[in-house]
Amino acid sequence: NQGFCNINYNLKTSKGTYVLRKFKSNDTVNISRKFEFNIQKKAFKKGIASKPIFIDKNKEFMVYKFLKAKHKVKLNKSELNNLLKSLKKLHKIKVKTKKMNMKKELKHYTHLNSKKAKKSLDICKKELKKLEKYDKKIVLCHNDLNPKNIFFTKKSIKFIDWEYAGLNDSFFDLAIISFEFDLNKIQKRYLLKKYLKKFTKKDILKLESYIKIYKHICKLWFISLSKSENK
């Protein structure tokens, strides 16, 4: 039971073991639950997700195959390589949907009036301004690649919790991995080299801007969550 927007149940049957994912909140879901289910189907075909089995017509719950795997909080070079291979497969999936608008996403937090929230909002706006001068490679991104959503099996790496998936700059997923796995300066450059083959100083600066944005969006999300729970 790890999510804030869902309640997950382990469902054991004579045919196998599954996860029943009960949707608790749709307030922050990027597109829709039907879209989430369809994206997971596409990702499963690429070998980077668990097999989705069913979504009910009222979009209140879905069922997918249970994965037996491990989470990692630190990555060695081999694990980072494999993670980037899975990420490239994800970023090649073709979908038609709206692009994520970061400025619009930030508007969800403008009602927060604490000093911490205002500081995080200001930093995000400042970094978004910097990003305007860089080219963007818009692809299907997971947008929530924290370690609990990445499963390391013996043969592959799979992603779960596709509720925030949508079109975004590929660097956003790279920034999440960099931040969540606490990659150092050398590891970030290695990540860029493996993903892009060639990278420039602009790519380094672009990655750092996205890392700051992700870091402060996380802060805003938890401030907002804490505020709603205290009501």
pTM confidence score: 0.94
Residue 199 has pLDDT above 70, yes or no: yes
Segment 107-118 shows an average pLDDT of 94
At 79, which amino acid appears?
E
pLDDT at 94: 96
Residue 231 has pLDDT above 80, yes or no: no
From 25-39, 116-130, 144-158, 176-190, the region with the lowest mean pLDDT = 25-39
State the pLDDT confidence band at 229, using cuts at 50, 70 and 90: low
Surface-to-core class of residue 127, CB atoms within 10 Å of its CB (0-12 exposed, 13-18 middle, 19+ buried): buried
**How far is 48 from 217, CA to CA, in rounded Å?**
26
